[in-house]
A and B are shown apart, each in its own frame.
Chain A
Amino acid sequence: MSNGYFALILHAHLPYVRHKEANRLEERWVFEALTESYIPLLWVLEEQPESISWTLSFSPPLLELLNDPVIQKRYLEHIDSTLKLIKKEKNFSKDKQEKEIISFYEKRFKKIMDTYQSHDCKIIQAFKTYMDEGKISCITSAATHAFLPYVQTEQGVHAQIAAGIRTFEKYFGSKPTGFWLPECAYSPGVDKLLADAGIRYTFVDEQTLLKSKPVPSKGIEAPVYSPHGVALFPRNQFISETIWNSSVGYPGDFDYREFYRDVAYERDFDYIKGFIHPDGIRVDTSLKYWRITGETEHKDWYNRSYANEKVKQHSTDFNNRIKDYLHNNKQTFPPTLITAPFDAELFGHWWFEGPEFLLESMNVSNEQNTEWITPQEFLHRHYRDLETVRPSFSTWGRNGTGEVWLNQENAWMYRHLHHCERKLVELAAKLSKEKVNIVIDRYANQMVREWMLAASSDWAFIVEGNSAVQYAKERFQEHIERFHTLYEAVQDESYNVNEISEYENEYPFIMLDLWHYFKNQHDLYVNTQYEKKNHKGKKILMLSWEFPPMVVGGLSRHVFDLSRKLTELGHEVYVLTSAVEGYPDYEINNGVHVYRIKGNQPSFESFFHWTGSLNIAMADYAVELSKKIKFDCIHAHDWLVSVSALAIKKELKLPLLTTIHATEHGRNNGITSPLQYEINQKEWELMDGSDRLIVCSTYMKKELTDVFRIPENKISILPNGIDPQQILAEPNEKGDEINRPDDELLLFSVGRLVKEKGFQTIVEAADIIRHKSLKVRFVIAGKGPLFEELNAMIRQKQLENFVHLAGFISDEERNMWFAQADAALFPSHYEPFGIVALEGMAAGKLTIVSDTGGLREIIDHEETGLKIYPNDPHSIVWAVEYMLSNRERCKEMARKGEQTARTVFSWDSIAERTVDLYNQIQNKTAKVGGMV
């Protein structure tokens, strides 16, 4: 009894080379493999000792080929033809030794014919019988032997595995417990899908185990579990070498049959032409009369008794090596296992005497009590005793890497395969919405077949090598093109029964339902969520770089108020805005769908490029959303979303409406720096590319027509709105915090502390007022770059009692200040609109504004408020004095101002007017900002 076990695994595989037309060269691969390997392996099984069992893997393409009646018929014809050739050769031959070999072939081919016919051409059925008897255990592989680590999607891998298993089931009546990983290509995650499919074991290279984390304590002497619990049996290189190695392996022995010399190339053309390819191409006839002889061109006759002798020697040697190995690697538990997987075609096809060697080795093992075990049986006995490790990507190819299947020659293939996969996922997502038309169903299945046939690892392998390259490339391209032709037919609804039948007949491969494998839980879920909702409102894609809680300027608030008002009016608003740390990337806020998006470089140091990065991400997101949400229009806000707005408009063919809240030119009173120039360009491109523009004031409209040369009729004026609710002070909250004399005037200002807001003018005015001994106090709330400067100014002029910088304040604090103040003061130099002025009015306070920009249009001087000259402290002083001497008048103005703010500037009316614009605009020719 030996110290361990030996496991033999043969993997039989051919690419799917069935063609409707006869006499394709590649079809002979099947014939040769049948003649030399598969049928002789049946003979091995017939005679093998009782105690021996081994594992045989059939790839699904091979199962389909061997069970194909057309192939079966053609193979019979082929054998028939070979028998005829043998007859002719018998008459032709004069040499005694040659005659002997010919008669060997005559017997052999008759036996092949007998075997094939006795199984009614169904040799898989014959293997199944041996499986049922326990002589072999059969397993299968991926549907088309795809190199699984290079399949892109989980669905694709799943389809390859599941369709493989189902094909096996079709012919063997049960599910396999083992699975041959094509090319022993393992990558993390493959094991999960195998485990999910009920697979318990597979095979990898020994290096896969040796480089795993952690390294298995038993090395390659025992299989291991992958993280997801699939047993990985490592190929034992040392033992495999005896057969694989081209220089020292047994098959290279000089007494064995020479593979490369065939009578096809030895005879006159006229003599042989009936037995080679009808086009006159000389192809192997399988009649090979010579032995390897040596490293010489001159070959001796093949001699069966020499060869048999060597088979005996090599079998004994092989068994000795196994015994030595098991002896030298004494491992107590589980017992050492030698796993020896090979290509099945190596035995017989490449190494003619291979099947006999196998049989003889079995006999020797039987005599010497070397125990052969199947992985299935090994697991049955030792499943508790295996370690778990995590291997990385590896194969049984050159250097154990992917380089055979991915290199300069064949790398181009993968983008096509991956593209097909994604199209299949898309198709499955679309089809799983409703009951599928029976013809489309067939199209979808055939598309999966075409992808599978293109994904066969053989093509990449062949393209990397040097024979049949043209065929491999053509087949690959053919399937990719067929895939897309079918896809187009589904897309443009030109699908029809005739076409699909023709496609199916061309490659009748795995005629099962296949496209369902490409379904995805998430897509199914989305489909149920987005069932046809009959919705009358508009679907608006809102683009704004800021949205609460991110508030930089007035834009954020504006977009928020407009969006929720639109929602209240029965429309659907989808806001795309930038991500905020700690806030959800998707939420429904007051009925508004808010997507907070991160660019690929969310910390880009340059703000300008940060916006560029954000825009690319926004555009991508919008297109993704459009797969389910049929937007009616885009509403963009300011230059920051210019790039995405124009791109989405073009891609989705939607009308684009843009609100310009302010311009760089206006803010800076001209364009001076290069960055300002870039922004100015973006503004212009956005204005130019939009179908409709909204500005908040006549002042802004004039800026657009004058500075940007925008046609007047493209611009609509819609003021900004306010929500009076937002201004109400909480009555009993900290009401008495500010103790101030009754006769003191309090003027409240709020805004970002930037130059164009004109707060420095207030400080100057305070200086004058102090000298007039008026009881006035100015409160300026807000933060910004000018804070320090203003603070210094106040201290320098010793105005601490007259001007108070409140810094950043909350909305509640703001409302409290409004409530306490006698007036709201906004002395801006530049103000496209001036929402703060509306807030002052809505708070019921006298509102004093600069006679500039949008402010000018909000206030009717001495009717709804007061206007002052921008940048003129004396004008502020004037206003203060006016207030002191016209107290009743001022109250009346405040009342009227409040009235105006609550009606003319209510969000309800503005939102309704915005919707009118949505209804009017149409998509004009898309313009994309370009190079100027």
Chain B
Amino acid sequence: MIEDIVKLKKRGLTLQEIAEKMNMSLGKVQYRWNKYRQQQVTSKEVSATKEIPAQPKETKKEKWSMPFEYKEASACLMPHTPESLYVYWSFSESIKNMAEHHFRTKWEDLPGVLKVYDVTDIIFYGHNAHRTFEIDLPPMTNNWFLNSLEPDRTYIVDIGTRTFDGSFFTLLRSNPAETGSAETNSSYDEKIERWKHQDITQPEWLENFSTYSYYQKIR
């Protein structure tokens, strides 16, 4: 019980508030708290006089708090509706530095641009999309709902900037994601036929999850 009181106290609650929260009388809470404080003082004195060295490391670390975004290079594209996808991203310091270095321009002054590639049924290598379009991003943007997409297509999104001569320059590339079906499909599907007849070992459609591995680029 005293642990809870201490915890709540640390969260900045008054004894009155703690009493209410814990469904105890104020007197009880006060009593417990004072007793605890006395114990703390004596134990400190004891440790001061006896010099007990091996106290567990009480390094006063700053408590980790949930950031707005993580300083890592990633772009994640997520399915949403048959006409929309969601992408969020973040940059590492390293990528920001490299962009600044390559363009010799301050990060804040580099225009943010998002490029959408329709990569349905192709192995995309950066230049062979069926269709692409670009969106100029407002500053400080780290996510976007991509609306008005076509159903049943596979998309990839790049986050990048624009060169002085107007070309798009990729800084981050997302995983591929599919917009779902919007309507009833035909009664025949080649891909499922090939799959059923085991003509192929891997499905010819996108499966959602990445077998992410930590050492993915190490052979």
**Pairwise interchain contact B180-A392, C-beta atoms closer than 8 A:** yes
Within 8 A of B (CB), among A607-634: 609, 612-613, 615-616, 619-621, 623-625, 627-629
Contact count band on B: 35 or more
**Pairwise interchain contact B127-A481, C-beta atoms closer than 8 A:** no
Contact count band on A: 35 or more
A586's contact among B72, B191, B215, B219, by CB below 8 Å, is which?
B219
**Pairwise interchain contact B167-A932, C-beta atoms closer than 8 A:** no
Closest to B81 in A: A401
Residues of B within 8 A of A422 (CB): 212
Give A932 to B103 CA distance when docked, in angstroms: 10
The answer to the question of B218 belonging to the interface, with a C-beta cut-off of 8 Å to chain A, is: yes
B86's contact among A406, A606, A621, by CB below 8 Å, is which?
A406
Stretch at the interface among A207-215, A462-470, A557-565: A207-215
Chain B 175-191: CB-based contact to A (< 8 A → 1; otherwise 0): 00010111111111101
**Pairwise interchain contact B211-A609, C-beta atoms closer than 8 A:** no
Chain A min CB distance to B143 (Å): 6
Give A494 to B56 CA distance when docked, in angstroms: 9
Residues of B within 8 A of A481 (CB): 63-66
**Pairwise interchain contact B80-A402, C-beta atoms closer than 8 A:** yes
Give A389 to B191 CA distance when docked, in angstroms: 10
Chain A 518-546: CB-based contact to B (< 8 A → 1; otherwise 0): 00111100110010000000000000000
Residues of A within 8 A of B70 (CB): 415, 419
Residues of B within 8 A of A623 (CB): 94
Within 8 A of B (CB), among A836-895: none
Q: Which of B167, B173, B205, B218 is most buried by chain A, counting CB atoms within 10 A of its CB?
A: B218
Chain B min CB distance to A88 (Å): 19
The answer to the question of B22 belonging to the interface, with a C-beta cut-off of 8 Å to chain A, is: yes
The answer to the question of A67 belonging to the interface, with a C-beta cut-off of 8 Å to chain B, is: no
Give A612 to B105 CA distance when docked, in angstroms: 14
Chain A 705-721: CB-based contact to B (< 8 A → 1; otherwise 0): 00000000000000000
A151's contact among B69, B86, B182, B209, by CB below 8 Å, is which?
B209
**Pairwise interchain contact B63-A526, C-beta atoms closer than 8 A:** no
Stretch at the interface among A186-194, A337-345, A372-380: A186-194
Chain A min CB distance to B111 (Å): 15
B101's contact among A156, A214, A392, A930, by CB below 8 Å, is which?
A930
Contact status of A520 and B218, CB under 8 A, knowing A213-B191, A227-B203: no
Residues of B within 8 A of A910 (CB): none
Chain B 70-105: CB-based contact to A (< 8 A → 1; otherwise 0): 101110101111100010101000110111111111
Q: Which of A150, A278, A480, A600 is most buried by chain B, counting CB atoms within 10 A of its CB?
A: A600
Residues of A within 8 A of B217 (CB): 621, 624-625
**Pairwise interchain contact A402-B64, C-beta atoms closer than 8 A:** no
The answer to the question of A739 belonging to the interface, with a C-beta cut-off of 8 Å to chain B, is: no
Closest to B87 in A: A411
Give A418 to B77 CA distance when docked, in angstroms: 12
Residues of A within 8 A of B103 (CB): 612
Give A394 to B180 CA distance when docked, in angstroms: 7
**Pairwise interchain contact A480-B66, C-beta atoms closer than 8 A:** yes
Give A184 to B109 CA distance when docked, in angstroms: 45
Chain B min CB distance to A821 (Å): 45
The answer to the question of B27 belonging to the interface, with a C-beta cut-off of 8 Å to chain A, is: no
**Pairwise interchain contact A403-B192, C-beta atoms closer than 8 A:** no
**Pairwise interchain contact A390-B189, C-beta atoms closer than 8 A:** yes
13 A-B pairs within 8 Å (CB atoms) are namely A187-B208, A188-B206, A211-B180, A418-B74, A485-B64, A600-B173, A601-B126, A602-B126, A605-B167, A606-B167, A612-B98, A623-B94, A646-B101
Q: Which 4 A-B pairs have CB atoms at the shortest separation, nearest pair first?
A: A189-B207, A429-B214, A392-B180, A624-B217
8 more A-B residue pairs beyond the given contacts A227-B195, A929-B104, A930-B104, with a C-beta to C-beta distance below 8 A = A214-B187, A485-B63, A494-B61, A522-B211, A601-B170, A620-B73, A646-B97, A651-B94
